Structure formats: structure tokens, C-alpha cells
Amino acid sequence: MKFTFREKDVSKLGCFLVFFFISFITLSQSLTEDSQFVNKFSESVLERNITFSWSGGSLADALNKIGAENEIKFSFSNSTIAGIKIPANNFSSTKFSDLLFQIFKNTGFNYVLVGRIVAVYKDEKNLPSKYEIPDSTAITPQEKKQTYNQVYTPAFTQEIPWRERKILKRLYREELRWAARYRRQRENRDTINSEKEKGYKPLNKDGDFLYFISTDLGLRANILKYQSNSQLHWKEDLLWKSKSETNVYPTLLFGINIKAFMIGAGLGFQNITIHNTFRDIKKEPPKPPPAPAQENSNLYITERYSLISIPISITYSKCRKNLWLGVGSGIRFNIVNGNEAMRNKLKKYYNDSTATKTYFDEYKKLTPELFVDVALGYKWRKRFLFTGGLTYTHSLNPIYENALYRLNANAIVFKAGFYYRFNLFRRSAR
């Protein structure tokens, strides 16, 4: 079986891969930041000093008492640790990691910190040896050296049952979501306090981010406008039919936020493919009657234009909670490269019909167009904005012109994309 790939298929696939790659890198960076935050938070919990007095009893009661007195969450199954007893002991300003080590010592269980949660799992290595004194409560340097990192990461290597490993992964995902919310709230709170102390002016209406970068992936449906340059009824004479393909239209913008307005400029790539069908009328010189019938044949011509676009846009945005609305307009400059498929294809018809030799073809190299758009979006983690919307473009100049007509390619674009907002620096008030 033979597979063939058309140029437009390869182009669409390439645009999709670029859009996917940018999205993947952005989300991966965000997840990495959340993971680092969770790990650092866990380490800070382990370094806390805790005072704990225990008169003896079950392991479950001891963990519940520690959690209630210090606002620490534990995750364990009562049926799993039932029957495990902890001897009486008093801890005064003891590091939390040392307290947990002592609590779980020789119990056959161990712990790992998943964000804010202390998860308990079965550990057969944590059983007393036959040479160890049962009531030994001191932590020796050798024991400290043998302990491993008690902060959970995706690379956690301890040999634990599959069910417990699945629980740890679920807890870790929940803590990542918590970290994203907590970190965002803390950043906003720190930003507001810092600006009040240092006299910073808000950068925009929300006091958030000054710059943005965005990418869109759209489907462009062309609306072909033919304007006649002559008095000939060329559409009727030639039985003219034309149809345009729907093409992928990716764009990349970089801009600045000024209050409720987003002003940006960028780069876009698009293809316009037009399929033309018309009748080629070959006129014969006059002959005595009966005159022979005209010889008719259909011609099929495909026009392809590649455009590099430079859009300049301004958008008014309104946000309510996490819902976003944007209405904007702008101008786009298109650098056109065409395959000149229609050159001289209508020359014979025009010259024979007008009895002149003034037929001409002209392919435009630069065409400006105006556009208006409206979009709805969802704001996620303050910095990210996922959008979908509709754009109408109106071409100011034709992309192709001959002695018979001018061709303008207007379009409706259905698009989806996202914005990433950030700051490079802050300006202080004067």
C-alpha cells in the first residue's frame, strides 16, 4: 500500500505540532514549579520543632493526637495499623522528622511526607533486629545515616505494595493542585503588600501582569470577492465557478497590557487555495453558413497563495471571576507569494471579445486587511488564559488582478488559543 502526503496535509500537521509543543513546554514548566513548591513545603514541615507528650497507647491514637495538636494531616488505614502500640515518651522542642522516626521505630511501618500530608505505609525493613534492645528510644548516628529522604517525589523508590503506591500518587496529584492555588494566592498577597510598602503603581487594571504572549490556531474560511474590471459578462460567458479550501491559520503575538486594553503585534502564516472551473471558448473565423458549432472545453485551475502575516491588534478585555471576554480589531499586513497559475489563462477570451491586445495580469506582493474579532476565555492560575473566538477579515487590496476582474479574499476565522501573562520588571511610583 502506498501512502502519499499532500503539501496542505504536511502544513496542517506542522502547525498542529508547533502549537502542541508550545503548550506542552508551558504546562511542563508550571508543573515543575508546583512540584518544587510541594517538596520545599514538605521539607519545611519536617524541620518544625514540636512538643509532644505521650502516655502510651496505639499508633493510631498517637498520630491523631499529633495531628490535632499541630494541625498536621495523616493518611493511614486504622485496620492496617491496629494492634501497633507505642510506648510512653515525652518530646520537647523536637524536630518533627526525629519525632516521626521515633514514633515509627520498630513498628513495621514508615512514613513519607506528601506535601502537607504524612502518609503511612507498611515497611518490613523497619522491624526490630534480634540484637536490638526493645526499649531503646535514642536515635543513634548510624540510624540517622541509614534513613532515606522522607519527602515523596514521582521517583520514590521504596518497595511498597501497589495499592499503597497508587494512594501516594493520588495524594501527590491533590497536593500539586493545592500548591498551585496556595502559591498563586501567596504571590498575589506578597505582590500587593510589596507594592504598598515600596510605593509601586499598579501595572494595569488588575495590578497583575504587564506583558503577554499568545498563540492561536484557527481555521480560515475564505469569502472570495470578484470585482469586474471590464464591461464583459465574463462569468456568464465562461460559466465561471470558484471554490476555496478551508486552511489552518496559526499566529503568535507579543504585547502589553494597558488597563483593560491588550495591544500586540506578531506573526502569522496562512495559505489560500482556490479551485477555478471555467469554459474555454475558442472562436473560429467567420465561415459561410451553416457555421460550425463552437468548440467548448472545461479548464480546471488551482490557485495557491502563501501569506506571511504581520498583525497589529488592540483588544478590550473584561474579566469576571475566571470568565474572560475580549473584543478587538486591528490591521494585518500580508506578504504574498503566489504560484501565478492564472497568468494568461483568460488572455484569449479577453482579446477576442474586445478586439484588443490590452490584457494584463498582476499579482500583488503586499496586501493590507482590517479585522475585528470577539473571543471568550477562561482564566487559569492567573497567568494563563485559554480562549476561543471568531474573527472577520476584510482585504483592502486584491491579491490578484487582471483585465477582467480583481480578486479580494475576505475570510471568517474560527480560532482557539491561549495567553501567557508575565512581568519583566516593575516601575516604582514617583
Same fold, 29-193 and 205-283+297-422: no
- Residue that wins the pLDDT comparison between 333 and 73: 333
Confidence grade of residue 197 (pLDDT, cut at 50, 70, 90): low
pTM exceeds 0.95 for this model: no
Cβ atoms of 374 and 330 closer than 8 Å: no
Q: From residue 68, how far is each of 1, 73, 102, 118, 369 by CA, in Å?
A: 69, 8, 19, 13, 66
Closest CA to 368 of 401, 407, 393, 331: 331
Cβ atoms of 276 and 241 closer than 8 Å: yes
State the Cα–Cα distance between residues 330 and 369, nearest whole angstrom: 9
pLDDT for 415 equals 95
Average confidence score pLDDT of the chain: 79
- Longest CA–CA separation in the chain, Å: 128
Cβ atoms of 24 and 17 closer than 8 Å: no
Give yes or no for residue 99 having a pLDDT over 50.
yes
| Domain segments of the chain as ranges | 29-193, 205-283+297-422
- Residue that wins the pLDDT comparison between 125 and 428: 125
Query: Who contacts 266 (Cβ-Cβ below 8 Å, separation ≥6)?
Result: 214, 251, 252, 253, 254, 255, 310, 311
State the Cα–Cα distance between residues 418 and 24, nearest whole angstrom: 12
- The model's pLDDT over 339-377, given as tens digits with 9 standing for 90+, comes to 888 999 999 999 988 988 899 999 999 999 999 999 999
Question: For 202-220, what is the mean pLDDT?
Answer: 75
Q: For 200, which DSSP code?
A: B
Give yes or no for residue 4 having a pLDDT over 70.
no
As assigned by CATH, the class of the 205-283+297-422 domain is mainly beta
Question: For 145-159, what is the mean pLDDT?
Answer: 62
CATH tag for 29-193 (out of 3.40.50.300, 3.55.50.30, 3.40.50.620, 3.90.470.20) = 3.55.50.30
Q: Give the burial string for 381-390 (b: 16+ CB within 10 Å, else e).
A: ebbbbebebe
Task: Read off the C-alpha cell for 124.
Answer: 518490613
Lowest mean pLDDT among 14-23, 46-55, 286-295, 411-420: 286-295
Question: For 290-310, what is the mean pLDDT?
Answer: 77
Task: Name the amino acid, one letter, at 125.
Answer: K
